[in-house]
Amino acid sequence: EGFNEAVAQAAELNAFIVTTPDHALAAADAADKARAEGKELGAMAGVPIGMKDLFATHGVQTSAASHILEGFTPQYESTVSQNLWDAGAGMLGKLNLDQFAMGSSNETSHFGNVASPWRKEGSNAAMSPGGSSGGSSSAVAARIAPAATGTDTGGSIRQPAAFTGICGIKPTYGRCSRWGVVAFASSLDQAGPMARSVEDCAIMLGAMAGFDPKDATSLEMDVPDWEAALSSDLRGKRIGIPKEYLLEGTSQDILDSWEQGKAWLKDAGATIVDVSLPHTKYALPAYYIIAPAEASSNLARYDGVRYGLRSLPDGAGLQDMYAETRHDGFGDEVKRRILIGTYVLSAGFYDAYYNQAQKVRALVARDFEQAWEHCDLILAPTTPTASFPLGSLDDDPLTMYLNDVFAVPASLAGLPAMSVPATLNKDGLPLGLQLVGKPFDEQSVLDAGLAIE
């Protein structure tokens, strides 16, 4: 009965692209059986999770929410999803997302917009669950799934988590294998958990992470038991407040929640220090050069030959087939990224744009390295605003890109970063706070998250 109710609500929110209840039930049965036999249970035994439809799942359509991959059924399993099944989890279904994870509102999916379960007080307008992991945030916030996977290239775990009042962590680049995850911008893409609590994130991240020889950028490091070590005692920790994140025009509710966050961390024993990340304002423009550049290269493989869709006009030759397939298969936002990417990589513009952006990336990373001489963690808002009504930014890609302004620096630097629910604004919408940690120090990020939660 509860299941049917959840299915109906999921349909209303459009959170899932495909549902796989048998997969989840099999995991629950296996957990029951293991328990009855007194066997040791995996960390995720019997837990029914949602899987962002960017992770390849054996025998289950993997579409990246794009028409071009519709009908593509992998004969292999991504390392992260396999790790979760090995820990005992089961899959409720494949979650909707922005097409190829490009977007901040879940409005670029071929399978339709995803709605957040939240509404502005006194309004019935459907709100954005954020993006690109909007199916994940919506399903977890609506209590349809206790947890879900997300991926974060420039904020796609943290921003949707903030918009829907849940927790989400992007670990250090390389913690979670990218093998079998549809590539967007390979030097930035990182998987992570989205769940209702910091503790659940710690458990799930522990199951997802680990060295994988199939991913050349996978970290060859042990996975600590983050959950066992969780502690909200922050005595001795210095929390840095980056002055460059105080953007002109940031709304009062965001500033208030930031103040509240500082107070909570102080109460937990931490000291608050001012730090400077001087290249912050160049991070977003650099991201929107680097990510499309890598995307334009990664998306070259969708040619109508190897995966999913093939558009073949009568009597067409190979070139026409490529062109038609890509014309029909990619959505507008994906095409925009390919155009930007090929432009910034083209001879004559490469030095002016791509190379310059790579230099900025190095400076952003150095800013953090210098900040770590004065603090152990950074506290900032996750987003410059709360969620917005679906459709309200349709003709405004630049404002849409601005959503990621606080998220992107940690992505460029490959640092662990988490969004935790902080307060509700005057409209009754959730606001998130972001914690950014030193490389490999997910523990401090989770601990401070626990103190805020």
Residues that bind ligand GLN (CB under 6 A): 101-104, 132, 152-156, 184, 291, 404
The residue number with the shortest CB distance to ligand GLN is 156
Tokens standing for residue 327: 């014309």
231 an active-site residue?
Answer: no
The three-point CA angle 289-250-100 to 5° equals 35
**Which residue in 66, 104, 132, 136 is the catalytic one?**
132
| Marked catalytic residue, from 52, 94, 170, 237 | 52
Preceding peptide of 132 cis, ω within 30°: yes
DSSP state of 127: B
Closer of 6 and 69 to ligand GLN (Cβ): 69
d(CA 222, CA 442) in angstroms, rounded, equals 13
Nearer to ligand GLN, 96 or 153 (CB): 153
Residue 101 or 208 with smaller CB distance to ligand GLN = 101
Distance of closest approach, residue 184 Cβ to ligand GLN, in angstroms: 6
Shortest distance in whole angstroms from residue 370 CB to ligand GLN? 25
Minimum distance, C-beta of residue 348 to ligand GLN, in the bound complex (Å): 25
From the candidates 156, 177, 387, 419, give the one annotated as an active-site residue: 156
27, 48 contact by CB (below 8 A): yes
CB 432 within 8 A of CB 162: yes
Q: CB of 384: closest distance to ligand GLN in angstroms?
A: 13
Structure tokens at 65: 């929410």
Q: List residues bridging with 318 in a β-sheet.
A: none
**Which residue type occupies 240?**
G
CB of residue 365 to ligand GLN, shortest distance in Å: 18
Kindly state the smallest distance separating residue 65's Cβ from ligand GLN, in Å: 12
Q: Which is nearer to ligand GLN, 23 or 170 (CB)?
A: 170
- Rounded to whole angstroms, the Cα distance separating 197 from 229 reads 15
Residue placing its CB nearer to ligand GLN in the complex, 104 or 138: 104
- Dist CA 442 CA 380 (whole Å): 16
Tell me, yes or no, if 52 is annotated catalytic: yes
Q: In what order do the strands lie in the sheet with 377-381?
A: 16-19, 90-95, 48-52, 147-152, 190-195, 167-170, 417-424, 430-437, 377-381, 238-242, 271-275
- Give 222's DSSP letter: -
Residue 63 corresponds to which tokens in the numbers above? 């579409």
Residue 30 or 191 with smaller CB distance to ligand GLN? 191
Task: Determine contact, residues 280/367, Cβ cutoff 8 Å.
Answer: yes
As a whole number of angstroms, the distance between CA 149 and CA 64 comes to 13
Is 419 tagged catalytic? no
Catalytic residues: 52, 132, 156
